[in-house]
């Protein structure tokens, strides 16, 4: 395996490995260590089957399914993220995946199936680097706070569509708002990370509305600092695997009306502390 670092803060491109063949426990163990260290890993030319993608993700632990997206036949944990001219992607902002869960995903394994001729890159930001760059006074202040994450808030556009409320009724009932610490401890590295995101975090518990809005606004801008980020240009058959506890990501929706399709698996995580 060869490792090429992608930016100063996070990201490593891993080559010299064939995920259609190198699927033993020892390889998966190395991948897990690399993931915790580099926070997001990229693999190119990996024409894996759904079963192989499933096996890679499962090596980290149990998987989660998403309440709102279509899935690959016979693989309920593999969600299809597709953007077309008729149905462009609605996810625009920086976020961690599914933080509306009491146990948000440990990580995500995303595989590319259809990639536009140009555009459609993805950005990641290191929440470790973002936390480390805060002053000790701000770190200490934020460390005592908790925030609410809400599925209905993140999916408000889909809910407002005609038929959206009925289609997502079960998802809304199954995913009531949850509370997570604003700063969490990574359970494997022990590092402190920022754990609020613009897609799902609605407010900070116990603060007046304007203070909550100002602090979240500051953090949502802070995590976009270029020095905390890396960028990946997709080809077909790439796999990006990120630590969803220590990163956020943003899709760059600059390829409309071209067709883009990726398949995603999220791995179950533990309760943030
Ligand atoms: Fe995402």
Domain CATH number, residue 117: 3.60.130.10
- Compute how many other C-beta atoms are within 10 angstroms of the C-beta atom of residue 174: 10
Whether 272 maps to a domain, the answer reads: no
Q: For this structure, is 264 an active site residue?
A: yes
- Tell me the per-residue pLDDT of 126-146, one tens digit each, with 9 for 90 and over: 999 999 999 999 999 999 999
Residue-wise DSSP of 186-233: -TTT--EEE---TTTEEEETTS-HHHHHHHHHHHHHHTT-GGGEEEE-
Residue 242 lies in a domain: yes
- How confident is the model over 64-72, as a mean pLDDT? 86
CB burial readout 130-148, b (16+ within 10 A) else e:
bbebbeeeeeeebeebebb
In a domain, 135, yes or no: yes
Evaluate if residue 172 carries a pLDDT over 90.
yes
Identify the domain containing residue 233 by its residue range: 2-267
Assess if residue 164 is contained within a domain: yes
Distance CA 70, CA 82 (A): 9
Known catalytic residue at 249: yes
Domain count within the chain: 1
Q: Say yes or no to pLDDT of 248 above 90.
A: yes
pLDDT number for residue 89: 87
> pTM to 2 decimals?
0.96
Res 267 pLDDT > 90 = yes
* CA of residue 206 to ligand 1 center, whole Å: 28
Report how far Cα 260 is from the mean position of its chain's Cα atoms.
Answer: 18
What is the share, in percent, of the chain residues with pLDDT greater than 90?
93
Q: How confident is the model at residue 91 (pLDDT cuts 50, 70, 90)?
A: confident
User: Does 149 qualify as catalytic in the annotation?
Assistant: no
Please choose, from the candidates 268, 227, 209, the residue with its C-alpha nearest in 3D space to the C-alpha of residue 244: 268
On the question of pLDDT at 270 being above 90, the answer is: yes
Task: Establish how many alpha carbons lie within 13 A of residue 6's alpha carbon, considering only the half-sphere containing its beta carbon.
Answer: 25
Give the least confident one: 1-15, 84-98, 125-139: 84-98
Q: Which of 32, 38, 66, 95 is catalytic?
A: 95
């Amino acid at each position: 395996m060869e490792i090429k670092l992608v930016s100063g803060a996070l990201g490593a491109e891993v080559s010299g490995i064939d995920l259609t063949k190198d699927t033993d426990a020892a390889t998966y163990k190395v991948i897990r260590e690399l993931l915790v260290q580099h926070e997001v890993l990229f693999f190119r030319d990996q024409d894996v089957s759904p079963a192989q993608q499933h096996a890679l993700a499962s090596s980290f632990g149990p998987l989660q399914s998403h309440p709102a997206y279509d899935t690959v036949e016979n693989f309920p944990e593999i969600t299809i993220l597709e953007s077309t001219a008729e149905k462009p992607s609605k996810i625009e902002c920086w976020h961690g995946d599914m933080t509306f869960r009491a146990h948000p995903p440990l990580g995500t394994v995303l595989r590319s199936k259809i990639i536009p001729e140009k555009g459609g890159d993805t950005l990641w930001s290191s929440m470790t680097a973002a936390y480390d760059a805060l002053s000790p006074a701000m770190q200490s202040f934020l460390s005592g706070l908790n925030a609410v994450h809400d599925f209905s808030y993140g999916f408000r556009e889909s809910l407002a569509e005609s038929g959206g409320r009925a289609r997502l009724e079960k998802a809304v009932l199954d995913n009531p708002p949850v509370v997570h610490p604003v700063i969490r401890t990574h359970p494997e590295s022990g590092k402190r990370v920022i754990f609020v995101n613009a897609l799902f975090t609605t407010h900070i518990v116990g603060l007046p509305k304007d203070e909550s809005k100002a602090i979240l606004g500051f953090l949502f801008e802070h995590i976009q600092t270029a020095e905390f980020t890396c960028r990946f240009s997709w080809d077909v058959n790439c796999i990006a695997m990120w630590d969803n506890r220590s990163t956020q990501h943003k899709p760059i929706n600059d390829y409309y009306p071209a067709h883009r399709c990726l398949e995603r698996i999220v791995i179950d995580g533990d309760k943030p502390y």
